[in-house]
């Protein structure tokens, strides 16, 4: 499809792109989200993600898979106005939010509860995909997976990792359905050293950077685990703790 040239900040395409980047409720209502960058666009097309439009900076590229996709070309200043990222080389593109499985089957999963930093959520989705963990469950007030910052931090894993939004009770029900124990990462005397647990078939929950897991979720856990550290060390942030957990879950591979 030939790219259409745009030149006004008031163009409905530009107005909508800025709104999608800024408004999580709009993204959910319209079932679309935004990513940027040539590498991510190529990976989205390779993984079969539903790309719906592309905004090119200066000139369009001829990429396989974009034949029936709406495409636009804008001058550099207008692109910078439309993009949520500073100094992005482009392109900016929109995708359909994929439907989630209601009762997914999996052998191991990472559960994030109230992890609000987009970089941490994106990094853990990226790491889970790299480690071959089947799913990432998201509970409570986690950063929006489909915000531009989070999606970018996944480095393309958002196109291939199974993501499930649920609540604490729903997460426990999924664990029971898949006959998996649920462990909570916690700084408590009850917690077992992560190195002595068998996490090959399990779900492990990581809490928020400031408050850890909620009492509600901890009450549903079959056990608690702790990552041993030297005396006097501060607790690890969610991305660091989650990465260690993911490594322990997949060491047998």
| 76 and 125 inside one domain | no
Residue 170 belongs to some domain of the structure: yes
Q: Are residues 92 and 168 in the same domain?
A: no
Instruction: Give 98's Cβ-side CA count (13 Å radius).
Output: 17
Tell me what pLDDT residue 190 has. 83
Which residues, other chains included, contact 77 with Cβ-Cβ below 8 Å and sequence gap of 6+?
A: none
Domain boundary among 45, 74, 96: 96
Q: Are residues 73 and 145 in the same domain?
A: no
- For residue 102, is it within any domain? no
DSSP secondary structure string, 76-128?
HHHHHHH-SSTT--S-EEEEEPPPPPSS---SEEEEEES---HHHHHHHHHHH
Domain range for residue 29? 4-96
In a shared domain, residues 112 and 92: no
Is the Cβ–Cβ distance between 63 and 42 less than 8 Å? yes
**Are residues 159 and 77 part of one domain?**
no
The pLDDT value recorded for residue 253 is 56
Residue closest to 36 by CA, chosen among 76, 2, 79, 96: 79
Domain containing 32 — which CATH number? 3.30.1330.30
pLDDT at 134: 95
The answer on 84 and 134 residing in a single domain is no
Residues 46 and 130 in one domain: no
Whether 103 maps to a domain, the answer reads no
Residue that has been written with the tokens 């609540």 in this structure? 167
Same domain, 31 and 140: no
Q: Which CATH number covers residue 182?
A: 3.40.1280.10
Q: What is the pLDDT along the chain (253 residues), one digit of tens a residue?
A: 788 999 999 999 999 999 999 999 999 999 999 999 999 999 999 999 999 999 999 999 999 999 999 999 999 999 999 999 988 999 999 999 999 988 899 999 999 999 999 999 999 999 999 999 999 999 999 999 999 999 999 999 999 999 999 999 999 999 999 999 999 998 777 888 899 898 999 999 999 877 889 999 999 999 999 888 887 667 788 999 999 999 999 987 5
Q: Are residues 50 and 119 in the same domain?
A: no
Question: What pTM did the predictor assign?
Answer: 0.92
- Do 87 and 8 lie in one domain? The reply is yes
- Listed residues 37, 63, 96: the one ending a domain: 96
How many structural domains comprise the chain?
2
State whether 89 and 114 are in the same domain.
no
Residues 207 and 242 in one domain: yes
The verdict on residue 101 lying in a domain is no
Q: Please report whether residue 87 resides in a domain.
A: yes
- Residue where a domain terminates, one of 70, 96, 122: 96
CA distances from 35 to 47, 138, 151, 156, 197 (A): 14, 20, 7, 10, 38
């Amino acid at each position: 499809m030939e790219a259409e040239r745009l030149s006004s900040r008031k163009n409905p395409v530009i107005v909508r792109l800025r709104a999608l980047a800024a408004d999580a409720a709009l993204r959910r209502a319209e079932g679309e989200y935004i990513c940027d960058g040539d590498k991510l666009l190529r990976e989205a097309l390779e993984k079969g993600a539903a790309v719906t439009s592309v905004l090119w900076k200066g000139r369009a590229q001829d990429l396989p898979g974009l034949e029936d996709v709406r495409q636009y070309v804008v001058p550099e200043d207008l692109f910078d106005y439309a993009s949520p990222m500073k100094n992005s080389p482009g392109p900016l593109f929109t995708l359909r939010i994929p439907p989630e499985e209601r009762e997914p089957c999996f052998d191991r999963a990472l559960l994030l509860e109230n992890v609000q930093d987009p970089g941490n959520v994106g990094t853990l989705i990226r790491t889970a995909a790299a480690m071959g963990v089947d799913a990432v469950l998201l509970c409570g007030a986690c950063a929006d997976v489909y915000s531009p910052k989070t999606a970018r931090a996944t480095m393309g894993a958002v196109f291939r990792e199974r993501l499930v939004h649920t609540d604490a009770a729903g997460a426990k029900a999924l664990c029971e359905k898949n006959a998996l124990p649920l462990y909570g990462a916690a700084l408590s005397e009850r917690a077992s050293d992560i190195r002595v647990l068998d996490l090959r078939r399990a779900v492990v929950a990581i809490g928020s950077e400031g408050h850890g897991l909620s009492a509600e979720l901890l009450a549903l856990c079959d056990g608690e685990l702790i990552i041993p550290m030297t005396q006097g060390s501060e607790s690890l942030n969610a991305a660091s703790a989650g990465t260690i957990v993911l490594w322990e879950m997949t060491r047998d591979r």
